[in-house]
Amino acid sequence: MKFSKIKSYAKVNLSLNVTKRLPSKFHRIESLVSFINLYDLINLRPINSKKHKVYFKGKFAKGINRKNTITRLLEILDKKKILNNKKFEIKIIKNIPHKSGMGGGSMNAASLINYFIKKRILKISKKELIKLANLVGSDVILGVTQKNTVLSSNGKLTKFKKKLGFYVLVVKPSFGCSTNLIYSKVKYFSKPKYNSPKESLFNTKNIVNSKNDLEQIVFKIYPKLKKLKLFLIKLPNIIFTRMSGSGSSIVAYFHSKKATDIAVKKFKRKFNNYWYIKSKTI
Distance, in Å, from the CA atom of 18 to the CA atom of 29, rounded to the nearest integer, reads 4
Cis preceding-peptide flag for 248 (omega within 30 of 0): yes
Long-range Cβ contact pairs of 219-226 (< 8 A, separation 24 or more):
220/185, 221/177, 221/181, 221/182, 221/185, 222/175, 222/177, 222/247, 222/248, 224/173, 225/173, 225/250
Q: Which of 40, 99, 139, 213 is catalytic?
A: 139
Is residue 11 part of the annotated active site? The answer reads yes
Q: What are the helix and strand counts (H, E) for the chain?
A: 8, 10
139 is a catalytic site residue = yes
DSSP structural state of residue 254: E
Q: Which residues contact 234 (CB under 8 A, 6 or more apart)?
A: none
The active-site residue out of 11, 99, 172, 229 is 11
Taking alpha carbons only, the member of 102, 114, 70 closest to residue 89 is: 70
Q: What are phi and psi of 32, to 5 degrees?
A: -100, 120
CA distance 222 to 241: 17
Euclidean distance between CA atoms 16 and 36, whole angstroms: 17
Contact 246, 218 (CB under 8 A): yes
Query: Positive or negative, the Cα torsion across 191, 228, 64, 2?
Result: positive
Residues identified as active-site: 11, 139
